[in-house]
Structure formats: structure tokens, C-alpha cells
Structure 1
Amino acid sequence: MEIMEPKRRTFAAFGVYNVWGVTIMLYGGLGYLIRDWRMLQTVATLPGLLILPALWLIDESPLWLIVNGRPQEALEVFSKMARWHGVELPPEAEMKKLVEEQTAEVRNITPKHSSAWSIMKSVVGDVVILFKTPRLRTITLCIYFNYVVVGTVYYGLSLSGASVSDDPYVYLVLSGLMELPAYLFSGYIVQYFGRKSSLSFFFLMAAVVLLALAFTPAAYSTTLLVLAMAGKLAISVGFQMIIFFSGELFPTEVRGRGVSTAFMMSCVGSTVAPFITDLVGSVYPWAPFVIFGTGALLAGAGTFLLPETRGQVLLDTVANLEARQTK
């Protein structure tokens, strides 16, 4: 996202998630064929080792290098990108001047020491900075809440196969199938309708579907399955939109820590989800969907507090964010 121009950034960010939807479908098939959960977990996890060699092949983001006071490395990455794409960069002196001007705008990064206390202070400082200024604080709190909700609803629906369908394996395959159009069309939606309004709409759509699901009689099995799939479609779109939107909202200076801690909040939601579906749902079958629907409703309303980022260049520093006029 950091190296893409705005008009291409949207489609590049959303396109990669089609693989996730296909994998969900495959996981339903794997679960049907491999009933031992330990073996299933092993087979599903081992391909992750293939990611490790990529760590030595992928270059660091040049914007991040500039913000963190490493302009020479950024110039090397720019040169490699230009060579691969067969384009000519401006003269070296001009490039150095541009990079130095960007570096001068950002705060000085103090060297980090290896002591446990210094590492602890650094970790705490990385989180605290997200709450120091008014606009960044609003963004952080809204994004955190949205991630908790989207994680809870997404995984809550994914784990609701037994209560919605007679065949949980088919349910999981169908839920993965519903994610494919979510990822295919999300990029076009946010490109033409904006990030904020699109995200809010799909949160509200998920809320309506989930609340309808809560009060649909169990005898209407087909209706329950259709509503569940519609909810999965809506929350899948919302999940990808919030990932993309949060990457644009946080300035480069704090983007890594902002997005990573936000993902941590989605993990809080995914951790809570099975307790809601299994414990609460076993006593009151309608209650999990009311909880999920209410959370989605609040998240949709809270999204209106965030600024729009469509067509805008990514901000580099917190100071840039606080100086920008909100829409």
C-alpha cells in the first residue's frame, strides 16, 4: 500500500484476499477428510513455512525507511523498483534532495538499546503515541473498536455452522464461497463510494441481517442459511475494508504499530467469539446473533467519526495528520 499510487492502491490491497476465501473453502474440505483435529491443524499449518524465504526477498517500504531516518536504503529500493519497471528516475542529486526533505519533516528517532527496561519503554511508547494527539486518538479508538467487532462477528459466524446448518463442512465451504465476491468487488466499492460510507454501510447491513437471523424460527432452515451467508458476505467486506482503511488512516510514522495493534484487537474479538456462540448460544440460541448485530450496528455508527481517505496521498507523520483538514 505504501508504494502504490492512490488509484492502484485499492485494487492491489483487496485483490490478495481472494486467496483467503479459496483457502476457507479448502479448509472445509480438509475438515471433512481429516477428522483428527491435531492432524488437521498440522496439515493446515505446515505450508506457512513457505513464507519464511520471502522475508529475505521482500524489500522494506521506502516510505518507512525515509520516516525512520534511513534515506540511503530508501534510494536503493527506489533504484531497484525503477530498474525492474524499466523507468528512469530523476538525477541522483535531485532524488537525494527529495528524500532529505521528507526526512527533515519527521521526528528524530532515538536509538534503541537492548536492555529489557529500554525495550519495555519502547513498546509502551509505541502504543502511547497512538493516543497522544486528538485526531490520532479518535482514529485509534474507532479503529480498535471496529476491529474487535469485525473479529467477533466474522469468527462468530464462521463458528456458527452447527447452529445454522445440519452440515458444518458444507457450511464452511459456503461461507468461504461467499467471501470471494466480497473481495472481488470491495475494491470497486471503496474506490467509487469512498472508504467511510462503504464500511459503515456494510457494518449496518451485517447488523440488520444478524438481528433478523436472531429472530428467525429454527424451522426455516433455508432462510437461516441464506441470512447467515448474507451476514458472512457483509462482514467479510467490512473486514477487508477496515484492514485497508486503517492502513490509510495511520501515518507512515505509526502505521506499523497502529495496524498491528489493531489486528491484536481483532484477535480479542476472535477469542471471545467461541464463548459467545458456545456458552451463551447453548442457553439462549438467539443471543449470539443479537450480540453480533448490536456490535456491528455500533461499529457502523462509529465509523462516521473517521476521516475519508479516498484519492489522498498517504500521510507520513502524526504532525501531518493533525494539520490536515478533515472532510
Structure 2
Amino acid sequence: MKFDDVLREIGQFGPYQKRIYLLAVFPTALLAFETLSVVFIFYRQPHRCALPDYHGDTYNLQNDTHAMMINLTIPLTNGQWDECHVYDNISYDVDFASNASGLTPYVTNGKQQNGRTVDVNTGRSACRHWVYDFSVFETTATSDFDVVCENSVQRAVSNMMAELGTMFGVIVCGFISDRFGRKVPFYVGGLCLVAGGFGIAFTQTLITFNVCRFIIGIARICVFLNGLVIGMELVGPKSRTFAAVAIEIVWCGGELLLLLFAYFIRNWRWLEIALSIPSIVLLFYWWLIPESPRWLASRGREDEAMKVLERIAKSNNTRLPKIEDAHALLEADTVLSFRNVVRSRELIVRMLIVFSNLFVIVVVYYGLTLNITNLSGDIFINFTLNVILEAVAYGIPYFLVDRIGRRPVYCASMILAAWIVVALSMAGRFFGCSAFSIIYLYGPELFPTVIRSSTMGIGVTFTRIGGIIAPYIADLGILVGGRFQNAIPLLVMGSPALVVGILSLWLPETKGKRLPETLEDLEEMKRKQGCVCCRDVGPPDVHELEVEVNRNLTSDKIPHCHKA
């Protein structure tokens, strides 16, 4: 008897299971806070160079004389004030008594303007101080740390630090999880989330800001993965599809709450404090959630594993069947040699296609999300539309993949994302999110059981690499500049999405098919299905598919990599 068989006997989603599941997935909303808060914290405010030697300068025009000083000092670029340069050798003699408006600029060796001699120097130099438009936010990290012009890359560096923290967290939390259980890294991740969030709110330099982002990167992967394992392991096969969808909805709920916080709190430091306060509840999770029963059984702690199962049975008014050996509930591990893997051309092709898709999906998702600050229009409306589209995009695939199939829905999502991302960023993100939700269902079904976990584990690394690159692509237009700066990031994201979407047509359809157990099964699957234009051969073994998918989902070795 396996764990799923026990859950079928004692109840698949009873009161106790629902409570633990909700506690386990609730932090997903908190992770959405810290992951996407940079959209508002690093909001790209309109700005220009500050007037030299004038400490009362503001972005908004004060009077006609102030406007004249700006026009004499700041070059025009495409009809707008240059954000990064001033004319050389500009100086002012400010005489408050000589002008009703309070300001009179004096420069020499030039031409007359309004009765004054003004310089006509056309040389330019980069400015070191800026004034910002505070009409949307009272203050942002962009304005506090001057993350503009040559320093614009610092925004991408900050986001990269969070992704590096996530990569580091995958290694560290994975080791801790195997040695000490799921609760330990989950709790440590909660501590890191609290420390990193409040640390950002009170930081005074970009260096410490980035250190805190690195800590948050560690926290979000430790909290998400281990919370997911604890929650999903207690859910029976019948309710597991709902549980998988609910996680994505919780993420979207976190995005909506983030939007409300950002709308009513326009100071980025107070916003970060408000977003960090709810994470304090994670400090009490040690006493609220149980240890993974699978891990307990694997470590020979059968009595503790049985206590968790007994709580489930009691809450469902059922009786726990007699289990002679709790360790026997676990699936046996099978090892496939590296030599056999590299000899299979079909397996190598599938790996390359899936890994490239994982990389591109994360680039598109994060790239378009971070690019919201660069879009025209109201940032709050743009963010709201993105969240609504994301929620719909997560829901639709779950109604289509079991009717149409994984391959057509996934390929259509990626190809449409590539086309539409160039014309309409939000619609492109819609299909990108759709592909995001399918790849973690479709990907594991493409590989033999003996290497399924390790293969998807390698895929997680590619998602983190994509997450590191995505911020730079989102800001590529700002860094490059020019007439087409808004189109450059979309083209860079859309082109590879089109390529990997077409390459995915090589992959076989897995809907209703028996999942491959060995390399021989994998080769047989390809021979039966042939090319993308060929019809599938052989009746589907739906029951065996369900059993295998359910067993695969409960495996504590498969890293279900979310956006966290």
C-alpha cells in the first residue's frame, strides 16, 4: 500500500487537510509581495537633471523664470528635456530683488534673451543630480538612490541579486530539507523573509538593499518549495488538480493585495514595512504545520508519520488502515546511469527543448512583469490588467489540457506569446503565463520515471538563469535608448519564445498516454506518434496515467518551481 492508497482510504481533502493546505500555500501571497514589489519600489519616475547651483529646483515648473532657466540649461531630446545631460559652463547669478518672480539668470559671452545675455554653448556633460516628478509616488528607491541614466542598470542588478539568492536557496534548502526535514528550511525561509523585508525598508545604500534582496531570494524558494511539499503531500489524488490551481490563484491574490498596498501607500519605505508585517506570522508556523509524513517515514520515524495520518483520519471520521511498515509507503528509487542517458538521442532532444522552454518562459514572464514600469499609462491600471490576465491564463489551461492535449495548448501559448508580445505586451504576458502553468504539467510527463525528478531539477536551474537575465532585458530599452527603446525588450523576449514554441512541436503528446518508465518506453512513444503531423497510435491507458501523475506529484524529489 502506497501513500495515495492510504489517502483514498482515510479521506482525500478533509478539514485537517484543508487547514494544513491553506496554511502551506498562504505564504505564496507573501512571496508575491516581495517578488513583485520592485515594480512599485523601482517605479521609473519622470525626471531631469537638476539645475546647477540651484538648490530650490523642482521637476514641476515654478514660474516663467524657472522655465527659462531649465530651457537654457537642459538640452531637448525628441521634444523633451534630456534626462541625463546638461549644457556645459552654465552658471547663474540669482538676484531675488531684481525680478518679481525672484530669479534672474546671468551668463556671459552669448546672445540677448529677454534683455539678458545668455550662453549658446552646445557642449553637453552628464549630470550627477536629478529632480523627480512625485505626482504618483511620494518617494521611491529610484529617486532615493538615483537609479537613473548611467545608474539605471542598478535596478536590474537588484533583481538579479534576488534570483542569485533563489539559485543559492535551491542548493542550501535542498540539502537542509533532505537532512533535517521540510519544516526546518521552511521556518528558516520565513525568518529570512521577515529580515529581508524589514531590512529593505530601513536600508540607506544600494549595497545593503541588494544584500536584502539576496536574502529574500533565499527565503522565497525555501518557503515556497517546502510549504508546497507539506501541503500537497496531504492532499489525495482526486483533489490534487484543484490544489495545483489554487496555488496559482493565491499568487494572483497576493498580487492584488500588493496593488492595494501600493495604491494607498505611496512612500516606498512604508510600503515595504506594510508588506513585511504579514510575514511575521511565518514565525509561528513551527507550531502550526506538521512535518512531511513521507520524510518522517523515510527517516524511520514511523510513529510520527502515523500520527499525522491519524489526524487526517480522525478529522474525516474514518479509520486508518493497518500498516505494517510505514517505510513501505514510499516508492522505491531507481537509478539510471549517465551513460544510458547520453546514448538516447530522443531523451537528449527532449531535455534541450524542455530546458530552453523553461528558460524562455521565465524570461518572458519576469521580463514583461518588470517592464510594466516602462509602459505608458497609469501603472496601477497596467498592473491590475496584468493580474487579471494572469489569473485567467492560469485557469484556462486546466480546462484545455485534458480535452485538447498538452502539446497543442502549450505550443499555441508560446507561439502566440511570441507574436503578440511584440504588438501588445499584456496579451503576450497572458499567453506567457498560460505556458508557465502548462510546462510543469507537461514537462515531467515527457521523461522516464527513473530520471523524471532529476531532469526537472536541472530545469529549475534554467528558470533561475532566465530570472537573472529577465531584469536586464526589461531595462534594455532604457540602457540602449533611442527611438525604438520601448520595442527592443519586446522583440528580444518575443523572438526566442517563437523559436522554442516551434521547437516544442517536436515533443510528443502525452494526453491519455501511459507515462514512460524506461528509455525503451520513451523510444516506443516516439515511434508510435512520429512527427507532429502524424496521428497518435494506440488506445490511451487513462487509469495508469492518473496513477502515475498522482504518484509523480507527491514525490518529494520533484521541485515544483513557481515564480518564486
TM over 0.5: yes
2:282 and 2:521 map into 1 onto residues whose CA distance is 34
CA shift for structure 1 position 46 = 5.3
1:291 aligned to 2:527? no
- Give 1:116's aligned residue: none
Over 3 Å counting, the alpha-carbon distance change for 1:142 and 1:6 in structure 2 is farther
CA 1:61/1:146 → structure 2, altered by over 3 Å: closer, same or farther?
A: farther
Distance 1:33 1:96, change over 3 A: closer
Whether contact under 8 Å (2:448, 2:519) holds in the other structure is no
* Bigger relative CO (Cα 8 Å, ≥ 6 apart): 1
Q: Tell me: CA distance 1:47–1:269, structure 2 relative to 1, closer, same or farther (3 Å).
A: farther
Q: Does 1:141 align with 2:341?
A: no
**In the alignment, structure 1 residue 185 sits paired with structure 2 residue 386:** no
Relative to structure 1, the CA distance from residue 278 to residue 4 in structure 2 (aligned partners, 3 Å threshold; closer, same or farther) is same
1:27 corresponds in structure 2 to 258
Is 1:273 matched with 2:470?
yes
Q: Relative to structure 2, which stretch is displaced further, 83-92 or 284-293?
A: 83-92
In the TM superposition, 1:170-319 aligns within 5 A as 170-211=381-422, 213=423, 227-250=424-447, 253-281=450-478, 282-283=481-482, 284=484, 285-312=486-513
1:83 corresponds to:
313
Q: Is the 8 A contact 1:143 1:262 kept in 2?
A: yes
The equivalent of 1:164 in structure 2 is 375
Q: Give the structure-2-normalised TM-score.
A: 0.43
Change (3 A) 1:90 1:32: closer
* 1:88/1:24 CA distance change after superposition, 3 Å: same
Deviation string, structure 1 residues 87-131 (Cα, Å, up to 9, x no partner): 7788757x999869x63x7249xxxxxxxxxxxxxxxx9xx7996
Distance 2:460 2:329 in 1: 31
Gaps of 5+ in 1: 109-124, 214-226
Contact kept? 2:293, 2:308, Cα under 8 Å: no
Report the alpha carbon displacement of residue 263 of structure 1 after superposing the two structures with TM.
Answer: 2.9
After TM superposition, give the deviation of residue 71 of structure 1 in Å.
Answer: 12
> Normalising to structure 1: TM-score of the pair?
0.69
Distance 1:153 1:185 in 2: 19
Contact 1:10–1:191 at 8 Å: present in 2 too?
Answer: no
1:57 Cα shift?
1.8
Counterpart AA for 2:472: F
What amino acid sits opposite 2:259 in the alignment?
A: G
Secondary structure at 2:403's aligned position in 1?
helix
Q: Structure 1 CA distance, aligned partners of 2:320 and 2:294?
A: 17
Is the counterpart of residue 44 in structure 1 residue 241 in structure 2? no
Deviation at 1:82? 8.0
Matched-pair contact (CA < 8 Å) for 1:6–1:311: no
Structure 1 distance, partners of 2:327, 2:461, is: 38
When residues 173 and 143 of structure 1 are mapped into structure 2, their CA distance, relative to the original with a 3 A threshold, is same
Number of equivalences: 288
| Separation of aligned partners in 2, 1:314 and 1:78 | 31
| Structure 1 residues 76 and 195: CA distance shift in structure 2, 3 A | farther
Whether the 8 Å contact between 2:313 and 2:320 is mirrored in structure 1 is no
1:166 positional shift: 1.9
Could you tell me which residue of structure 2 aligns to residue 106 of structure 1? 334
RMSD: 4.2
Structure having the higher Rg = 2
Tell me the percent identity: 26
- Distance in 2 of aligned mates of 1:323 and 1:18: 37
Corresponding position of 1:220? none
Structure-2 change in CA distance of 1:50 and 1:137 (3 Å): farther
Structure 2, unmatched stretches of 5+, are 1-231, 530-564
CA distance in 2, matches of 1:20, 1:49: 18
The separation in 2 between residues aligned to 1:256 and 1:78, in whole angstroms, is 25
**2:227 is matched with which residue?**
none
Residue in structure 1 matching 2:292, options 59, 62, 78:
59
Change (3 A) 1:235 1:33: same
